[in-house]
Amino acid sequence: MAKTSSKRRNSKSMGRYVSAENRGRYTAPRPASDDHSPRWYGLMLIGLLVLGVLIITLNYLSVLPGSVSSWYLIAGLVSMFSAFYLATRYR
């Protein structure tokens, strides 16, 4: 048989109609000024995207040293995917 606990919980700290602040489950809203990315973030995002497109295009046109190489394609795609990842974090 299970023992019953001799400690009683305070009815003011539990229940359906207790506010979130009293239960300790309240997270204060952040100020709107914290929701902006730094100015360099957008420039880096656009720079990586343009760099990736430029590398892939120049590789296709055989302008880059070392002739056509799959490593240039990989570098261009990594640059573009990192720009897309940064774009999802932009505020």
**Tens digit of each residue's pLDDT (9 = 90 or more) over 7-64:** 555 555 555 666 766 766 777 787 776 778 888 999 999 999 999 999 999 999 999 8
Domain ranges of the chain: 37-89
Contact present, 89 and 45 (Cβ < 8 Å):
no
Backbone angles phi, psi at 29, to 5 degrees: -70, 145
Contact present, 52 and 80 (Cβ < 8 Å):
yes
Whether the pTM exceeds 0.85: the reply is no
